[in-house]
Structure 1
Amino acid sequence: MRDQVQSLLGGAPARLVIDLDAIAHNIGVLQRHAGDAMVMAVVKGDAYGHGLVPSARAALRGGAHWLGVAQLQEALDLRAAGITAPVLSWLHAPGVDFGKAIEAGIDIGVPAVWEIDAVAAAARRTGRTARVQLKVDTGLARNGAFGPDWPLLVEAAQRHTADGTLKVTGVFTHFAFADLPHHPTVQAQQLRFADAVRDCERAGFDLEVRHMSNSAATLMTPQAAWDMVRPGLAVYGLSPAPDIGGSSRFDLIPAMTMSANATVTKRVPPGQGVSYCHTYVTSRETTLVDVPCGYADGVPRAASSKGPVLIGGKRFTIAGRVCMDQFVVDVGDLPVQAGDEVVLFGSGADGGPTAQDWAEVTDTISYEIVARTSSRLPRIYRGEQ
């Protein structure tokens, strides 16, 4: 079986296995938390490294109503794949071709007057009405109209709506502390968003959706659901609030497993330095295993002498520095041979490490661990497609 898999992968030494049924399951969990609100599955960043189109289809199969992306090309790729579900794209720089989005029926998130003016100009060129959603900054101080810029954005939207170039379909914002549901900003941002919604309603916009909840808010702040929730990380089974609970605490199933096949094993004496600069030195005669996966594949170099792996049903830690294409594991006297599987992270159901485990040892978040996985790693999809 191992040889068959390797043949299908063209001999690729490492890979990602994506459980599409897990993604569909996680959408169901999020929908239960959302109540009557719709679910927008965020599939930006190649679906957090899981693969844009297969993950989007799995999310829709699980019951998602909308898809969300950061960049316009991601939305266009969904349309090119034949996906007709509503899509929102919300992060754009000057010079983007909004005409393509309008022709593809993509909702465009607009945080500033320059952008809504550019969308309106593109709508006039195409001869079609653009669908836009206004983004208000309620305290994250990132993308979105803030303070006095917000009424200016609403006024510009009114002007372009009046001449038929735009339809304002929604209003949205983003939490700063949703993973700490009792933080005072959570309530404060809800109040500011409610004011922004009223501003839009007074302006006469026929809003289809109002949304602010990310994964953490969807799971822990149900009163912020409005018409739709907008989870990202939780779609892929990872906990957005690990200090409160892991994936199983929220009934989420991690969808990604990263693994490789050992290339070389060797017995070495005590006192042998391992990998660059010999930051790890063996304490006794032992077996070293070379794993063909490194920072070019998304393995953090910060995981040197820290990253956990599963080999032969037992957990070990990387020995020495992570290199561009490989790292080494000291397995003691465990019998390991070339071709044996090394699991970097997965669901954890087998006792192996998870993306959260990797995040903790490298002082980052699980979002980064999965999203940084390289495109040179083949994705194998399991479950209904």
Structure 2
Amino acid sequence: MRAEVIVDLSAIKHNVELLKKTAGTKLLAVVKADAYGHGLVPVAKAAISAGADYLGVALLEEAIALREAGIEAPILAWLVQPGSDFKKAIELDIDVAAASLKALQEISDASESKKARVHLEVDTGMTRGGFLSEWDQLTAEHLKNVEVVGIFSHFARADEPGEAQNDEQLARFNDMVERVRSFGFTNVIRHLSNSAATIKNHAAAFDMVRTGIAMYGLSPDVKTLGNSQSLALRPAMQLRAAMYLVKDVPADTPVGYGASESTTADTKLGVIAMGYADGIPRIAHGAGVWSAGKKAFSIGRVSMDQFVVDLGAQSKAQSGDWVVIFGNGSHGEFTADDWGAASQTINYEIVTRIGPRVPRIYAAHVY
């Protein structure tokens, strides 16, 4: 094996328990995108065992995979466009989101032997998914053949707690909830909070919160909310890889495609057996690996299957040694936050982009 992702399921459980206690309400564990790269089914089971009340996915096929794995907990799939297999969703007791009159009509048409369970998605200011211009056209007639079990929206700037838009979205959401209640749906699950709002905006907790990135132990925004440690979250993913080769290289030796960087002194270089085909960002600059008790920074451009790090002239590393690309930082290693900063992106992208040819290994504890 040349590389592996180790997922600490005890960290997932810790984070779910912490976030549910913080929210003081029901919790939907977001496991879309293969559980943010951590593994759909194992993470879903860990979240449920830790007290998650719902599972949330983007795609219907993700929800079906959970059902096929024997998971019976409530599941919401919210990116289910018109033309989807709504009958299959109804058959498998999968809740679906509706964000348009067309989708509602198709869901209603599919509700033959039993009613579909629907969460109305409303646009309160994100200007992405959800009812907006069609909201005023919605009537009780559109909803008569479905069971409206929830109404939800999504914050655009919850990771900026002081922004007025958060209050505006909250007020808009309350207004839209009242409209649904006027149709006779008085016991719907209201959910608006993402991870950032769960942590910082208790007024938005309502009946359920949706926790994504924080459930995996990562901060929604390091700059505005603090890092994992300050939020008492435990990062669940560690990425390790083998060094394909270690070799001595003289000063002023160009490294990699385009000779974009050169060694500044006689040194040892390590060739890591992972590249952008595995999810290592090609533009990363300022990150690297943890090798033999110290950080070794990348040098040169990331290739499809490999990248190079400067181990230093005194390094005792050898070909075949394993290194940590990122972890929880407790030993001094790089974190997903570090790789995000080095790649001009966010920790979300770092963990979700790790490719399928890197196996996931599950452990009770990584450290």
Instruction: Answer yes or no: is 1:108 the counterpart of 2:117.
Output: no
Map Cα deviations across residues 43-80 of structure 1 (whole Å, 9 max, x no partner): 00000000000000111111100000000000000000
Map Cα deviations across residues 6-63 of structure 1 (whole Å, 9 max, x no partner): xxxxxx201100000100000011011111x100000000000000000001111111
Instruction: Answer yes or no: is 1:150 the counterpart of 2:132.
Output: no
Say which SS state the counterpart of residue 360 (structure 1) adopts. helix
TM superposition score normalised by structure 2:
0.97
For residues 74-113 of structure 1, the aligned pairs below 5 Å read: 74-113=62-101
The residue type paired with residue 44 of structure 2 is: A
**Correspondence for 2:274:** 293
Match of 2:337 among 337, 341, 356: 356
Instruction: Answer yes or no: is 1:18 the counterpart of 2:7.
Output: yes
TM superposition score normalised by structure 1:
0.92
The residue type paired with residue 130 of structure 2 is: G
**Correspondence for 2:178:** 198
2:288–2:309 contact (8 Å) kept in structure 1: no
Say which SS state the counterpart of residue 239 (structure 2) adopts. strand
The residue type paired with residue 179 of structure 2 is: D
**Correspondence for 1:213:** 193
For residues 116-135 of structure 1, the aligned pairs below 5 Å read: 116-124=104-112, 127-135=113-121
Say which SS state the counterpart of residue 155 (structure 2) adopts. coil
Match of 1:376 among 331, 339, 357: 357
**Correspondence for 2:241:** 260
For residues 56-75 of structure 1, the aligned pairs below 5 Å read: 56-75=44-63
1:41–1:67 contact (8 Å) kept in structure 2: yes
| In structure 2, C-alpha distance between the alignment counterparts of 1:351 and 1:200, rounded to whole Å | 51
Return the offset for 1:93: 2.5
1:175–1:189 contact (8 Å) kept in structure 2: yes
For residues 22-37 of structure 1, the aligned pairs below 5 Å read: 22-35=11-24, 37=25
2:29–2:47 contact (8 Å) kept in structure 1: yes
- Count, aligned residues: 363
**Correspondence for 1:177:** 157
2:287–2:334 contact (8 Å) kept in structure 1: no
**Correspondence for 1:5:** none
1:308–1:357 contact (8 Å) kept in structure 2: no
Instruction: Answer yes or no: is 1:159 the counterpart of 2:141.
Output: yes
Instruction: Answer yes or no: is 1:138 the counterpart of 2:158.
Output: no
Return the offset for 1:308: 2.6
Map Cα deviations across residues 244-264 of structure 1 (whole Å, 9 max, x no partner): 210011110000011101111
**Correspondence for 1:325:** 305
Return the offset for 1:123: 1.3
Map Cα deviations across residues 102-125 of structure 1 (whole Å, 9 max, x no partner): 00001111010010111111113x
Return the offset for 1:282: 1.3
Say which SS state the counterpart of residue 213 (structure 1) adopts. coil
| In structure 1, C-alpha distance between the alignment counterparts of 2:263 and 2:328, rounded to whole Å | 31
2:96–2:119 contact (8 Å) kept in structure 1: yes
Instruction: Answer yes or no: is 1:237 the counterpart of 2:217.
Output: yes
2:104–2:143 contact (8 Å) kept in structure 1: no
Where has structure 1 moved over 6 Å in runs of 4 or more?
Answer: none
| In structure 1, C-alpha distance between the alignment counterparts of 2:282 and 2:241, rounded to whole Å | 17
Deviates more, 1:307-316 or 1:97-106: 307-316
Return the offset for 1:206: 3.9
Return the offset for 1:161: 3.9
| In structure 1, C-alpha distance between the alignment counterparts of 2:211 and 2:137, rounded to whole Å | 29
Q: Which runs of 5+ in 2 are unaligned?
A: none
Return the offset for 1:160: 4.5
Deviates more, 1:305-314 or 1:212-221: 305-314
Say which SS state the counterpart of residue 230 (structure 1) adopts. strand
